[in-house]
Amino acid sequence: MFSKGSLGRKVLLGTALAGVAGLGGGYAMYQRRLKENRSVSAESFNAAQDAAKLKEAFKKLCDTQDHPLTKLYRYTTCPWCGTVKAFLDYHRVPHECVEVEPMFKGELRDSQYKKVPQLRFDTKEGPGPYLVDSQIIVDTLADKMGFAGQLKDDEIAKWRSWARSSLVRFVTLEFNRSLPAAWSGYSYIDSCDTIPYVNKLFLKVIGAPVMYIVAMKVTKTRLVKDGLMKPDDDPKVRLHAEVNRFTSEALMDIKSQKPKAFHGGSKPDLVDLDTYGVLQSVRGHRVYTEMINETKIGPWLTAMDTLLGKA
């Protein structure tokens, strides 16, 4: 029989070995996923879709009686998926969310493209054409729904780029600032009934180290290289500084220098929707709660929640 001290050391050693194995296995899996993701580009995949069926789907997107059976394939914690979800919700585009299991992606078995988000415009007759890549999806739908002018506005382009690059990176880094933090980030899958228990366990053991490695070795490195943070900066402090910059600059009327409800003025534009979508990727998480309590973003988030039916 083991003594209490001996058993404790063995448990500690086993946990440490599991962690090391998770890190090593996670890194190898991340490399394989990168290769798989690059095998088909979004542009070539979209170009291969049935143009006539896509055109028909776009015409009926918001038709309450005859709209396509639009499916959004996503990860709940994916910020780019959040931008598509925010656009669909705000413009009342009927759709169904399909939660994709992040490691094996069985929900994408019918698609040659293996990244999310993806939209599929099904009909009563069966599966329809796809539209993939968050920027392409939002830009295409905005153009088809009469918001092409926003796509040509330099100020809108500047802040959308900020939301989709700097903000995403700071959110990702803070969300995965430590291995325990990365593990806790995967708790959302517990409520996903479509994901088998074994897969959920695998995600927490392997997926968390993957995201921790990505945050530390890729995301942080890029932020430092781009001059957006120093190696010893606190990710939370930098994230909050970026969020406050959004409220003080993007929500300020350039001419009058007076605060405005949304970047779009009296109603949201693509900047508001992209920014909101990115932040929804951490809704319910410590990161989100701290942003509300410790920055000036709260009133804007509340106003957006009301308009998007989240209040």
Higher pLDDT, 204 or 305: 305
> Is pLDDT above 80 for 85?
yes
pLDDT tens digits, one per residue of 25-38: 555 655 666 566 66
- In this structure, are 57 and 90 located in the same domain? yes
Single residue among 92, 113, 148 that ends a domain in this structure: 148
Is the full-model pTM beyond 0.85? Answer: yes
pLDDT tens digits, one per residue of 282-296: 999 999 999 999 999
- In this structure, are 157 and 137 located in the same domain? no
What CA–CA distance (Å, rounded) separates 286 from 179? 15
- In this structure, are 159 and 143 located in the same domain? no
Q: What is the mean pLDDT of the chain?
A: 89
Domain count, the chain: 2
Token pair recorded at residue 194: 């479509």
Single residue among 148, 164, 185 that ends a domain in this structure: 148
Q: Which residues contact 308 (CB under 8 A, 6 or more apart)?
A: 86, 89, 90, 276
- In this structure, are 229 and 304 located in the same domain? yes
> Is pLDDT above 60 for 14?
no
For residue 257, the enclosing domain spans 153-308
Mean pLDDT confidence for 188-214: 83
Distances in whole angstroms, Cα of residue 45 to Cα of each of 19, 50, 114, 132: 37, 11, 10, 8
- Residue 259's φ and ψ, nearest 5 degrees, are -60, 150
- In this structure, are 249 and 120 located in the same domain? no
- In this structure, are 51 and 99 located in the same domain? yes
The answer to whether residue 29 is domain-embedded is no
The answer to whether residue 239 is domain-embedded is yes
Token pair recorded at residue 257: 């220098």
The answer to whether residue 297 is domain-embedded is yes
> Is pLDDT above 50 for 7?
no
The answer to whether residue 34 is domain-embedded is no
